[in-house]
């Protein structure tokens, strides 16, 4: 939806021209409707949602973030709540229930018929953070002895309820996974051929496997769907690429927020209350403020040296800023590599050695430049101090930046938490100590 149209719809609801708004929304596709709803406040969003045609409302509701779904349900009548809740797939329904108080979630479950309740309970049976919590228990499974004609007939019969039919698990009588077959191959094959001849080796995932890791595997290997199995390798669900992309997007949003020293909002920015945004930032600001006292303590400890050579104070922002930036670059790179599976915690020594070399190369380049420029203006003794400090600080910052995300991962914490905010605080204090020690040695103060 274009910015002009979004502004036009916003103006319609602001001026309460609801008839015109209803017509405009009825002509829009569900994705554009979601873009519009995400820009509105709680009350206006509820009004606009009630104006939607029923089929558009169902599709748009399914596309909304769980937090916004919860807010909408709070403003709807009981029969509407039951309708929209039941319209969700079991995995989407569970994610919405995770946003609700337990008492409300139990009440929602009572609105479901026995089949939908059983399907939802299957997903609820897996721990948070596992792929079982994101799979769909609604899928088509084929036996390998079926002919293509029989297989297509079964796919057509179950297509309405299945999460996907483009990648179909092939199982035996005990539902043990034997392989997968694509709908494309079924449609191309002779009707008398058997499924066992067409199936390929299955790339499956255990239901208790980490959700983010499974999602990245699904996306990296470009699967439309992956079978989800239990410990005995029986198929219990299907995991689709759209759910994989949602998990990856949510994980990257969390990493991006924590790299910047804030907690993730987990909802669109314009629909987030100001108080919620403030709460997402203030804790980190307090942590960083406490950390910054280390920098103040270092400056206080070397106050005599600053008074002896006032020019040293001029370069403090340059040195700690450069060190912080080098550390942040290393931490961001390693955090991303961890997320993609390119690096494991057992690779700590390899990462350290690589970042030491990167830091030395960066520090040498920047140090020589600093020596030449600073030496020509403030004297070669000051230039030597700045050049040597740049070399040491860059090496130290790159090494710390590469190791801290691995440390976080090894103790079960989010690697992003150990990245930019803490790197900057550590490098500021340690960099100043290095700076003044080098100055005391070179200048004899």
Query: Residues 184, 164: contact at Cβ < 8 Å?
Result: no
220: CB partners within 8 A, 6+ apart: 340
pLDDT confidence tier of residue 344, bands split at 50, 70 and 90: confident
Percent of the chain whose pLDDT exceeds 70: 91
Q: What is the mean pLDDT of the chain?
A: 84
Instruction: Tell me which architecture the domain covering 3-128 has in CATH.
Output: Alpha Horseshoe (1.25)
pLDDT computed for residue 196 by the predictor = 92
The alpha-helical segments, DSSP class H, found in 302-419 are 303-308, 311-314, 316-340, 348-378, 380-410
HSE-CB for 365 with a 13 A CA cutoff? 7
pLDDT tens for each residue of 363-392: 999 999 999 998 888 888 889 999 999 999
Token pair for 237: 């669900």
Token pair for 373: 């420029």
3-state secondary structure of 354: helix
User: Does position 23 have pLDDT exceeding 90, yes or no?
Assistant: no
Q: pTM value?
A: 0.68
The neighbour count for residue 324, using CB atoms within 10 Å, is: 21
Least confident of 123-132, 166-175, 311-320, 415-424: 415-424
The residue among 365 and 116 whose pLDDT is bigger is 365
Look at domain 142-249 and name its CATH class: alpha beta
Q: What is the CATH number of domain 273-443?
A: 1.10.357.20
3-state secondary structure of 130: strand
For the chain, what are the domain ranges?
A: 3-128, 142-249, 273-443
């Amino acid at each position: 939806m274009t910015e002009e149209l979004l502004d036009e719809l916003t103006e319609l609801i602001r001026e309460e021209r609801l008839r015109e708004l209803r017509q405009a929304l009825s002509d829009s596709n569900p994705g554009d409707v979601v873009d519009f709803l995400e820009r509105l406040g709680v009350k206006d969003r509820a009004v606009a949602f009630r104006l939607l045609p029923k089929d558009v409302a169902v599709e748009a509701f399914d596309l909304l973030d769980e937090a916004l779904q919860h807010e909408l349900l709070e403003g709807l009548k009981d029969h509407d709540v039951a309708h929209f809740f039941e319209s969700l797939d079991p995995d989407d329904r569970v994610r919405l229930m995770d946003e609700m108080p337990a008492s409300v979630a139990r009440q929602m479950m009572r609105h479901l018929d026995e089949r939908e309740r059983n399907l939802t309970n299957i997903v609820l049976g897996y721990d948070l953070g596992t792929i079982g919590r994101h799979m769909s228990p609604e899928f088509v499974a084929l036996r390998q002895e079926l002919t293509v004609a029989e297989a297509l007939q079964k796919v057509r019969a179950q297509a309405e309820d299945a999460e996907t039919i483009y990648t179909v698990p092939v199982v035996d009588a005990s539902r043990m996974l034997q392989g997968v077959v694509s709908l494309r191959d079924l449609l191309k094959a002779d009707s008398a051929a058997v499924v066992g001849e067409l199936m390929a080796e299955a790339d499956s995932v255990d239901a208790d496997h980490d959700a983010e890791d499974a999602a990245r595997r699904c996306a990296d290997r470009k699967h439309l769907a992956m079978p989800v199995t239990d410990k005995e390798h029986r198929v219990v669900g299907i995991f689709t690429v759209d759910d994989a992309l949602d998990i990856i997007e949510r994980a990257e949003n969390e990493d991006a927020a924590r790299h910047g020293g804030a907690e993730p909002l987990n909802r669109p920015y314009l629909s987030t209350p100001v108080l919620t945004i403030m709460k997402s930032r203030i804790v980190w600001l307090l942590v960083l403020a406490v950390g910054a006292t280390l920098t103040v303590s270092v400056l206080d400890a070397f106050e005599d040296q600053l008074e002896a050579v006032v020019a040293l104070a001029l370069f403090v922002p340059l040195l700690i800023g450069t060190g912080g930036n080098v550390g942040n670059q290393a931490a961001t790179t390693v955090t991303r590599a961890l997320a993609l599976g390119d690096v494991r915690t057992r690779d700590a020594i390899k990462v350290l050695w690589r970042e030491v070399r990167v830091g030395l190369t960066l520090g040498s380049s920047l140090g020589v430049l600093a020596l030449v420029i600073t030496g020509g203006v403030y004297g070669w003794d000051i230039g030597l101090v700045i050049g040597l400090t740049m070399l040491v600080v860059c090496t130290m910052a790159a090494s710390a930046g590469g190791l801290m995300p691995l440390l976080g991962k090894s103790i079960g914490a989010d690697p992003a938490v150990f990245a930019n905010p803490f790197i900057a605080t550590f490098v500021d204090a340690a960099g100043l100590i290095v700076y003044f020690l080098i100055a005391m040695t070179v200048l004899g103060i």
